[in-house]
Amino acid sequence: MNKEILKYKSSIETLNVVGGKINSVRYTDETKNTVRVYDDGKIGVAGRLGECNLTELETEAEENLKTQGIPYAFVQGKKVQKKVTRRRACDPAKLLKAGKSLMAKTSKECQGFLIGGKIECGELSGEYKNSAGSELSYESSYFSVDLSLKDKQSSNIMDAFYSAVFPLYGKNAADTVVSDIKMFHDAYFAEKKTIETGEYNVIFDRYDLLGLIFNHLIAESYVGGGSIFGGKLNQRVFSEKLSVYGDRNPSTNYGTAFYDAEGTVMPDYRSPIIVNGVLKGLLANKNSASLYGVPYCGTSNAAYDGVPSVGITGVYVKPSGATLAEITKDEPAIYVSVTSGGDMTTDGVVGLPVMLAFLVKNGKMICRVKEFNASGNIFDLLGKDLIAVTADNLFKGVGSGMIATRMKLFVE
């Protein structure tokens, strides 16, 4: 009988921001334990919150294996022994003071916005062991801000968002948050420009367009005919400038384990999904990869008491070379900041109602433009019309690059 033991601990302190001030502090400590056993093509799982007796948990998992009869293709991975640690992001005892100071400064610099949301400091650790001798462990930490920005004159619930994650809280992180939101604020309140219906260079945050395709990358959707990528594994689907990875690399995705839920450690801690425009991987666990004969690239996810499912904890998009300043030097671009309820048809046609967008010139946000609808086919937007995956971001607190493409905008 093969066995896996997982442990996860988190200690998170969260500040709630209302109207630019901290109105609450939340402390959450959690410990989760998992034992999985595999035998005769079946899996048994048991999980418990809090400290617990692992021997009892193992007995429960064995019992579940016998009684529940859940088929699962167990694939023994390579024996890996590795530990990754990083220094603490923030002293929890100082977070409240730091958060108050950060919000006071940001509100002072950005007087047109009412700021709400969360400031968080998390310390996470985990262990994975299996009966083949693999032993993996990590200690990780992050400081994050996840804020809504509301124009004091608008009747909307909120008008814009700002999110950033840092490996460490200090003066640099605080200055970055303030200067990012100040840049956003100044462009927001500059005189709004009208644009005409037509084709434009358009800049997106990585999740806006890629978020539309993730469901189509799930192995079950792919083999079941419910994916726009059906039959295209190992074929070129997008521009060779585009490479997309599931990201467990601690240098770019803070606060995550470097291994997946089944103890798989990928080269460079990243799961290759699209490499130079070629569809190389799908979202699968060891069972679905084996069942459907698709590649397994470390994209297993699991609840602490559940059979492994699939998922990625972050996305890394490899820069293709150009910077925002370079691609907006000769022709300004439109940065799509907030969309509302966009969708993609089964043949890949994307419709995005854009609520907030900005004109970008020489790599800088200049001013808002009027609301519009953006449209295009995903295979063109990330294919022949893809301009670049930039090395930089409009916001310094957001580590990843941005996706620039050519797109038709319809202005009412």
Query: Any idea which residue has 């925002």 for tokens?
Result: 324
CA distances 143 to 44, 174, 273, 342, Å, are 36, 10, 28, 30
State the binding string over 363-382 for another protein (x if CB under 8 A, else -): --------x-----------
Supply the DSSP symbol for 283: B
Based on the shown chain and the rule CB under 8 A, indicate whether residue 157 belongs to the binding site for another protein. Answer: yes
Based on the shown chain and the rule CB under 8 A, indicate whether residue 28 belongs to the binding site for another protein. Answer: yes
Q: How far is 247 from 299, CA to CA, in rounded Å?
A: 10
Contact 256/246 with Cβ under 8 angstroms? no
Q: Which part of the chain contacts another protein (CB under 8 A), choosing from 83-91, 154-162, 201-209, 378-386?
A: 154-162
Q: Binding-site residue total for another protein (CB under 8 A)?
A: 61
Tally of CA atoms within 13 A in the half-sphere of 388 that contains its CB:
17
Based on the shown chain and the rule CB under 8 A, indicate whether residue 293 belongs to the binding site for another protein. Answer: no
Q: How far is 184 from 335, CA to CA, in rounded Å?
A: 12
Based on the shown chain and the rule CB under 8 A, indicate whether residue 22 belongs to the binding site for another protein. Answer: yes
Q: Which part of the chain contacts another protein (CB under 8 A), choosing from 149-157, 204-212, 241-249, 275-283?
A: 149-157
Nearer to another protein, 29 or 91 (CB): 29
Based on the shown chain and the rule CB under 8 A, indicate whether residue 63 belongs to the binding site for another protein. Answer: no
Least separation in angstroms between CB 20 and another protein: 7
Least separation in angstroms between CB 78 and another protein: 26
Q: How far is 105 from 194, CA to CA, in rounded Å?
A: 32
Nearer to another protein, 19 or 133 (CB): 19
Query: Any idea which residue has 């579940």 for tokens?
Result: 64
- Among 153, 191, 198, 231, indicate the residue that binds another protein (CB under 8 A): 153
* Residues of span 168-227 touching another protein by CB under 8 A: 220-221, 223-226
Based on the shown chain and the rule CB under 8 A, indicate whether residue 39 belongs to the binding site for another protein. Answer: no
Q: How far is 255 from 249, CA to CA, in rounded Å?
A: 10
Nearer to another protein, 161 or 325 (CB): 161
- Among 135, 146, 186, 268, indicate the residue that binds another protein (CB under 8 A): 146
Based on the shown chain and the rule CB under 8 A, indicate whether residue 133 belongs to the binding site for another protein. Answer: no
Other C-beta atoms within 10 Å of 32: how many? Answer: 18
Cα–Cα nearest to 297, from 289, 287, 308: 289
Alpha-carbon 163 to chain mean position:
11
Nearer to another protein, 161 or 326 (CB): 161
Least separation in angstroms between CB 336 and another protein: 14
Residues in the chain: 412
Written as six digits, the tokens of 306 are 């559940």
Residues whose CB is less than 8 angstroms from the CB of residue 177 and which lie 6 or more positions away in sequence, other chains included:
102, 106, 145, 162, 164, 397
Nearer to another protein, 218 or 317 (CB): 218
* Residues of span 69-128 touching another protein by CB under 8 A: 69-71, 114, 116-118
Angle at 278 between CA 275 and CA 279, to 5 degrees: 95
Least separation in angstroms between CB 70 and another protein: 5
Q: Which part of the chain contacts another protein (CB under 8 A), choosing from 18-26, 236-244, 329-337, 397-405?
A: 18-26
- Among 80, 233, 355, 411, indicate the residue that binds another protein (CB under 8 A): 355
Q: How far is 357 from 370, CA to CA, in rounded Å?
A: 7
* Residues of span 224-283 touching another protein by CB under 8 A: 224-226
- DSSP calls for 69-137: -EE---------EEEEE---S--HHHHHHHHHHHHHHHHHH-TTEEEEEEEEEEEEEEEEEETTS-EEE
Based on the shown chain and the rule CB under 8 A, indicate whether residue 41 belongs to the binding site for another protein. Answer: no
Contact 32/68 with Cβ under 8 angstroms? no
Based on the shown chain and the rule CB under 8 A, indicate whether residue 24 belongs to the binding site for another protein. Answer: yes
- Among 306, 321, 329, 362, indicate the residue that binds another protein (CB under 8 A): 306
- Among 131, 235, 251, 340, indicate the residue that binds another protein (CB under 8 A): 340
Residues that bind another protein (CB under 8 A): 16, 18-31, 45, 47, 49-50, 68-71, 114, 116-118, 146, 148, 150, 152-158, 220-221, 223-226, 291, 303, 305-307, 338, 340-343, 345-347, 349, 351, 353, 355, 371
